[in-house]
Chain A
Amino acid sequence: MDKSLIQNNIRKLRFEQDEMTQKDLADKVGVTRQTIVAIENAKYSPSLELAFRIAQVFNVPLEEVFSYHPEADKKRSKKIV
Chain B
Amino acid sequence: MTYQEKTTTVSLMSTLLIFGFYLVNALPLMQSEPMNSTAIFSLWATIIVLSIIVNIVSSILALIVFNVIQMIRTHEEESDIMDERDKLIGLKGTRNSYVTFSLGVLVSMVTLVMNMPAVVMFNLLVISGLAAQVVGDVSRLYLYRRGV
List chain B positions with a Cβ less than 8 A from chain A.
2, 4, 79, 81, 83-86, 144, 146-148
Asked if A72 CB lies within 8 Å of chain B CBs, one says no
Q: How many residues of A contact B (CB 8 A)?
A: 16
A41 to B148, CA, bound (A): 12
Apart from A32-B85, A34-B85, A35-B85: 10 A-B pairs, beta carbons within 8 A: A1-B146, A31-B81, A31-B83, A34-B2, A34-B144, A35-B83, A38-B148, A43-B146, A44-B85, A45-B148
- Report how many A-B pairs have Cβ atoms within 8 Å: 40
Q: Please name the residue on chain A nearest to B85 by beta carbon.
A: A35
Tell whether, in the assembled complex, residue B146 and residue A30 are in contact, meaning their CB atoms are under 8 Å apart: no
Instruction: Answer yes or no: A47 CB below 8 A from chain B CBs.
Output: yes
What are 22 residue pairs bridging A and B, where the CB atoms are less than 8 Å apart in the complex? A1-B146, A1-B148, A4-B147, A30-B81, A31-B83, A31-B84, A31-B85, A32-B79, A32-B81, A32-B83, A32-B85, A34-B2, A34-B85, A35-B83, A35-B84, A35-B85, A43-B146, A43-B147, A43-B148, A44-B85, A46-B84, A47-B84
